[in-house]
Amino acid sequence: MRRILVTGAAGFIGRHTCRELASAGHQVTAVDVDGPRVMNMEGAGITSDIADVTEDGDVDDFVRVHLPDAILHLAANASVPRSMSEASADAHLNIVGTVNVLEAAAKYGVRNVVCASSGGAVYGAADHPLTEDEPQRPACPYGAGKAAAEQYMRYFAEHRGLCVTALRYSNVYGPGQNPDNGVVAAWRRLIVEGRNVTIYGDGTAVRDFVHVSDVVAANIKALTGSDGFMPFNIGTGVGTSLNELARLMGAPGITYEPPRAGDLQWNVLNCARARRLLGWTARVSLKDGLESLR
């Protein structure tokens, strides 16, 4: 049994991960700024704490008090459109929040930290499956913030003795996702209501959709830690156009709108490093994953 502290625990990926960690026998401390939601997570193997990762005093307190064996840092703004309109708030949460967690981990000797990053936004535009060695050309504040946070991860690994893993998720979907933070969840709500889905652009944009259960498995494998700083792409390596996604989901119709700033035309991840070094591979096909949501 290990003591695992999870920030952003009341979020979509956090809830799934905390439950899986607890069911595997670990002692989980679920931390989130949303008090009612995180307190509702308490149960066998899960305790909760209410804190804001952008407040360095809060972070210092929960790391000092709970003193975990490892930290899984998931607290973040995950909305590209929101980052476009609120770049400062996005940076405050995604950069400052990450630095606060890393600083407290170094201060209290928690060597193993796993942080959520982005497999699309940090790279920017591309036309081929992306490896972790690709140059980073973020096309939105969200991507710029995640890329900057990774540089702090590298610093804390190289100069403060931490083992830091960055998991660059592709487009995560699955049960319980907020419709405001994922195209699959947003479209599912519209389809249930018998309404058209909305596509920004002509629908040929390609995404790599990975099921939350596969992301949870990657989170848990990464908690074993490795020396220094290491980023991993976490996706399926399979591209699906938005037009094809609408067909697979059974959309009654499509409303096309002009492309949005910050949206990528093509984003698929090469996950060979995760297979080789983490022993992880995505197992849920998009077809099966969508069927599980019906």
- Give burial (CB, 10 Å; 0-12/13-18/19+) of 89: middle
Tally the residues of the chain. 294
Task: State the distance between the two ends of the chain, measured CA to CA, in whole angstroms.
Answer: 35
Q: Which of 131, 136, 161, 291 is nearest to 229 (CA)?
A: 161
Catalytic residue selected from 123, 142, 152, 173? 142
Residues ≥6 apart with Cβ < 8 Å to 137: 123, 124, 125
DSSP 34-96: -HHHHHTT-BTTEEEEE--TT-HHHHHHHHHHH--SEEEE------HHHHHH-HHHHHIIIII
Q: Establish whether 173 is a catalytic residue.
A: no
Q: What is the enclosing helix (H) or strand (E) of 101?
A: helix 97-107
The helix (H) or strand (E) run that includes residue 103 is: helix 97-107
Catalytic positions, written as ranges: 142
